[in-house]
Amino acid sequence: MTTSDPLTVVVGYDGSNASDSAVDWAALAAERHDARLSVVVAVDFPGAWAGLIPGDPTTPPFLVEEALRLSESAYDRALKVLQPERISTSVVKGSPAAALVLDSASADVVVVGNRHHSVLGAFAAKSVTFTLAAHSSSVVVAVPESEGPNVGQEVVVGIDGSDASMRALTRAGDEAALTGQALCVLAAWAAPVTPASSTAASWNISLPELDDVLMSAATRRADAAAATVRRSHPGLAVRVDVVADHPATALVRAGAGASLVVVGSRGRGGFASLLLGSVSHSVLHHCATPVMVVR
């Protein structure tokens, strides 16, 4: 996508309550970013060829009818926020995750629900959320089922000094500035996986001193990250939160009072081949707030 192309927000829809929330979130995001909204409904019928579905005789008619009905329902829902010319819908055959990963190549963000109960199935399934977050070419947002508008007053971003977390920081700052909310830069530190006493001994320091070293390093990273955001968005309210906890646990807790939690797809873990890190995976699994995963 070139800079001259209009931005596109893609959202998967399957009729579940979580995917209703996903369409609502995606429509508002498209409105804020002056973007188009593309609604995708998938029919994952075993043995069917992938592709557009209307008029295809190989798929059971009741599934086609349900897919078209859901497509219209999502369109009507998005119309509450966007003008008709900014909304498009498509019905496709095949895996919901594969359809969204394919569409992510030309999207600014792909949005999906984070629960699952649907006849057509799967756009709100955890497996789709994880697959999409691992393989999408674009930013991914997983939106949990909600009974009303999110009332959080800040965007929370987790940073650990990795390149992915720095890209998450940039995106989080942009989102907070665009919505007029505050930004919380969160850095968490915890004892190493190896016994803390062994680590302390190898560094020739005491356990309390080890805690101080880890806390000081996390504080420096958080302060530097906050300074970076303040330079990009001078009017943005930015606060720093440094906690002694596992990063995923800290982010889930912070997310309880936030409108959005932003994480990098993979942090400073030792397995470079992993497409989705353990922290982002855990936050996606447990957070009750919309989670944005930035590659």
Domains within the chain, CATH numbers bracketed: 8-143 (3.40.50.620), 154-294 (3.40.50.620)
Residue 116's pLDDT band (cuts 50, 70, 90): very low
Tell me, what's the pLDDT at 153? Answer: 87
Average pLDDT, stretch 54-77? Answer: 84
Q: Print the SS3 string covering the chain.
A: CCCCCCCEEEEECCCCHHHHHHHHHHHHHHHHCCCEEEEEEEECCCCCCCEECCCCCCCCHHHHHHHHHHHHHHHHHHCCCCCHHHEEEEEEECCHHHHHHHHHCCCCEEEEECCCCCCCCCCCCHHHHHHHHHHCCCEEEEECCCCCCCCCCEEEEECCCCHHHHHHHHHHHHHHHHHCCEEEEEEEECCCCCCHHHHHHHCCCCHHHHHHHHHHHHHHHHHHHHHHHHHHCCCCCEEEEEEECCHHHHHHHHHCCCCEEEEECCCCCCCCCCCCCHHHHHHHHHCCCCEEEEC
| Sign, Cα dihedral of 239, 169, 259, 30 | positive
**pTM, entire model:** 0.86
Separation CA 258–CA 112 (nearest Å)? 19
Separation CA 39–CA 121 (nearest Å)? 15
pLDDT at 111 over 90: yes
Give residue 196's identity as a one-letter amino acid code.
A
Residue 206's pLDDT band (cuts 50, 70, 90): low
Average pLDDT, stretch 203-208? Answer: 54
Between the two ends of the chain, the Cα-to-Cα distance in Å is 16
Residue 240's pLDDT band (cuts 50, 70, 90): very high
Tell me, what's the pLDDT at 1? Answer: 41
Average pLDDT, stretch 256-268? Answer: 86
Residue 212's pLDDT band (cuts 50, 70, 90): confident
